[in-house]
A and B are shown apart, each in its own frame.
Chain A
Amino acid sequence: MYKYDHYDQALVDARVAEFRDQINRRIAGEITEDQFKPLRLMNGLYLQLHAYMLRVAIPYGTLDSRQMRMLAHIARKYDRDYGHFTTRQNIQYNWIKLEECADILEELATVEMHAIQTSGNCIRNISSDQYAGAAADEVTDPRPWAELLRQWSTFHPEFSYLPRKFKIAVIASPEDRAAMRLHDIGLELIRQDGVLGARVFVGGGMGRTPMIAPEINPFVKADDLLSYLEACLRVYNRYGRRDNIYKARIKILIHEIGADEYRRQVAEEFAHVKTLGIDPPLAELERITAFFAAPAYDAVDVETDRSDPDFAVWLDQNVKPHKQAGYAIVNISLKPIGGIPGDATSAQIDVMADLAERYSFDELRVTHAQNIVLPYVAKRDLYAVWQGLRDAELADANLDLISDIIACPGLDYCSLANARSIPVAQKIATRFADMDRQRDLGELKLKISGCINACGHHHAGHIGILGVDKKGVENYQLTFGGSGAEDVSIGKIIGPGFDEDGVVDAVEKATEVYKALRQGDERFIDTYRRVGLEPFKEAIYG
């Protein structure tokens, strides 16, 4: 894990002091809410339906047990004893008091955490593969690059007032676990003739105009990457639309001028930027990389005892192969049947911290699917880890199944939402509560957004649900065929929407069609792609 040096710490400490001063000025009435808004947004503080919401950055979703315990502490002391893990691999607290906000940030700073650039029209938290460092299929560990990008983008003087927010993901595997091409910039690290570099995709995103990022450059060398990204951002900052907030993301610019023209402009800008010496020396990447050295593996490979049937189900569903023999990747589901996707109590957060400290070389990851990962668990410890999770009600064996739902906070919390997301997620999970039934349906990624901004990634759901407001009544549209993985695609609306119970029934009918038509080991999305929408439509509307 990366550790702050005194430069990193001083920057974060200065930020806390600065924001404390800004909050004090607001409370004293020296600045208006209008003037305060851009300042609080630069610090992840939103004014929601019922209270302030604070979004805390978890850079590339990586944290240690000390940081995880701090998240629990904040939930306990300043919120209602729980936190919400988000699709940006961050955590949000929903019931924050303005006058306590600076204290929270000060406590976070003691464990090298912050809320910098978790909102605002700037470069947001860099996201990455939750299996980084543990995945067998990775070319290199993407986390050092993500950290390099974190530092480059923090308080970037030119790109803090972009046309709109800007999200960057970095992966290093052919399998995409981070929805890379649905980001403003997606980087896939690759090796070409022994040289490390990145494939650069620009202009993806969800929201009201979902787009898959086209490849803008097939290979940018490591020591050119920051200059190249600077050029990408500069073209966007100068020419991205500012007349309409809904057309201000970079995907619209690239859609309007075309990928070829954008590529040409970036190449021209890059030729200039590269002369400025803004790329750190490779020694800096090496310095950062040293923090991410492989842990001191010491376990030998063992056969796991599968005699406890509940454990065996969890093992098959939530535990993934590791690049190191004798080890495994453990996924902790934050999707209990009937629960709120992504929520965890402070007690549960503490349990996960304890298990990470004891069994996972002190490291955890947050996934964009709102789950938690223990990346380095020795196989001999899997049963003990499972028991610890089970006792904390964290052992749901539903990873990637229909009840492993991504859902935004929706109208229960969010001031932008048109409809509630959480109750729909709860009803669907409850309808499919039977584990055998879920497992029979196999991988089925269901994602729910409570408004067109698509925070719940519905466009990327094998089944997506979009809540809309239809003359004052919550209405839910169904989309099929989306994917945020390496087979990335955007879901299509299947027809007229439903009420809350109607959409649950429609999902169930869709699964029946799948079961009737699937061939071999096809997943739901494979069958849908093969047979098309008609049979599903027939069953749902016929």
Chain B
Amino acid sequence: MVEFRYRSDEVTEQPSVTLDAFLDQSNATAVRLEPDDDARALLPFLDRLTLIEVAFPKYRDGRGYSAARILRESGYRGELRAQGDVLVDQIAFMRRCGFDSFAPEASLNPEAVARALSTYDHVYQKAADTAVPVWKLRHG
């Protein structure tokens, strides 16, 4: 279940299909990536996708962070959802990698999530979000 969503558009009602199923059918608009799936397989179809769900079966498995960045760097603007073993202390990193909705398996405390997202005012590196790295602030 989506607990946190940082988008103003409507929630997609269509259930997401596996990558293989998506590549086989021409009309799906929602897809689910497992850690083993290559996010780049979706690049030709980004225009018609409204939801990409990235599975995190274990919080330690960080492949989904790279998948998210690759999708955003390639111009994907639809909903990018982290689903699974998503912990409160990971949400800030996930936001930076381009995720804008979260469906954690174990429910998270909204207050704790808000706190985690406001802990740091600055970032050291450019990522897939709009945060301006400090090197840019230093040099304009």
Structural contact, A161 and B66, CB atoms closer than 8 A: no
Structural contact, B96 and A157, CB atoms closer than 8 A: yes
Structural contact, A17 and B119, CB atoms closer than 8 A: yes
- Interface centre among B61, B90, B124, B139, by most chain A C-beta atoms within 10 angstroms, is B124
Chain B residues contacting A156 (CB-CB under 8 Å) are: 124-125
Smallest Cβ-Cβ distance to A235: which chain B residue: B66
Stretch at the interface among B2-10, B17-25, B45-53, B126-134: B126-134
Assess whether B137 is interfacial by the CB under 8 Å rule: yes
Assess whether A393 is interfacial by the CB under 8 Å rule: no
Smallest Cβ-Cβ distance to A35: which chain B residue: B87
Proximity string of chain A (22-63) to chain B, C-beta cutoff 8 Å, 1 when within and 0 when not:
100000000000010011000000000000000000000000
Chain B residues contacting A272 (CB-CB under 8 Å) are: 73
Given contacts A154-B124, A158-B127, A284-B135, contact A14 B119 (CB under 8 A): yes
**Min C-beta distance of B62 to chain A, whole Å:** 3
Given contacts A7-B134, A35-B87, contact A242 B139 (CB under 8 A): no
Chain A residues contacting B125 (CB-CB under 8 Å) are: 151-152, 156-157, 226, 278
Assess whether B76 is interfacial by the CB under 8 Å rule: no
Given contacts A35-B87, A121-B60, A283-B139, contact A157 B126 (CB under 8 A): no
**Min C-beta distance of A5 to chain B, whole Å:** 7
Chain B residues contacting A158 (CB-CB under 8 Å) are: 62, 65-66, 69, 93, 97, 127
**Min C-beta distance of A274 to chain B, whole Å:** 12
Given contacts A152-B124, A154-B124, A276-B126, contact A237 B63 (CB under 8 A): yes
Chain B residues contacting A2 (CB-CB under 8 Å) are: none
Chain B residues contacting A10 (CB-CB under 8 Å) are: 121-122
Alpha-carbon distance between A525 and B73 when the two chains are bound, in angstroms: 51
Would you call the interface of chain A mostly helix, strand, loop, or mixed?
helix
Structural contact, A161 and B138, CB atoms closer than 8 A: no
Structural contact, B126 and A278, CB atoms closer than 8 A: yes
Residues in B98-140 with C-beta less than 8 Å from chain A: 115, 119-127, 133-139
**Min C-beta distance of A199 to chain B, whole Å:** 23
**Min C-beta distance of A524 to chain B, whole Å:** 43
Chain A residues contacting B119 (CB-CB under 8 Å) are: 14, 17-18
- Interface centre among A121, A156, A238, by most chain B C-beta atoms within 10 angstroms, is A238
Assess whether A287 is interfacial by the CB under 8 Å rule: yes
How many residues of A sit at the interface, in one of the four size bands?
A: 35 or more
Given contacts A11-B124, A35-B87, contact A160 B138 (CB under 8 A): no
Chain A residues contacting B93 (CB-CB under 8 Å) are: 155, 157-158, 160
Structural contact, B66 and A155, CB atoms closer than 8 A: no
Chain A residues contacting B62 (CB-CB under 8 Å) are: 121, 158-163, 237
Task: Indicate which residue in B65, B90, B92, B124 contacts A237 across the interface (CB closer than 8 Å).
Answer: B65
Structural contact, B61 and A7, CB atoms closer than 8 A: no
Structural contact, B127 and A157, CB atoms closer than 8 A: yes
**Min C-beta distance of A297 to chain B, whole Å:** 29
Structural contact, B139 and A284, CB atoms closer than 8 A: yes
Chain B residues contacting A151 (CB-CB under 8 Å) are: 124-125, 134-135
Chain A residues contacting B96 (CB-CB under 8 Å) are: 157
Assess whether A277 is interfacial by the CB under 8 Å rule: yes
Alpha-carbon distance between A516 and B90 when the two chains are bound, in angstroms: 60
Given contacts A17-B119, A152-B125, A278-B126, contact A157 B89 (CB under 8 A): no
**Min C-beta distance of A279 to chain B, whole Å:** 9
Chain A residues contacting B35 (CB-CB under 8 Å) are: 242
Q: What residues make up the interface of A, taking CB atoms closer than 8 Å to B?
A: 5, 7-8, 10-11, 14, 17-18, 21-22, 35, 38-39, 121, 151-152, 154-163, 226, 234, 237-238, 242, 272, 276-278, 280-281, 283-284, 287
Further contacts, 16 of them, CB under 8 A, given A163-B62, A278-B125: A10-B121, A11-B124, A14-B119, A14-B121, A121-B62, A154-B124, A155-B120, A156-B124, A157-B65, A157-B97, A157-B127, A158-B69, A159-B65, A160-B65, A161-B60, A280-B139
Q: List 30 A-B pairs, Cβ < 8 Å.
A: A7-B134, A7-B137, A8-B134, A10-B122, A11-B120, A14-B119, A18-B119, A38-B60, A151-B134, A151-B135, A152-B124, A156-B125, A157-B92, A157-B94, A157-B96, A158-B62, A158-B66, A158-B69, A158-B93, A159-B62, A160-B93, A161-B59, A226-B125, A238-B63, A238-B67, A272-B73, A276-B126, A278-B125, A284-B135, A287-B139
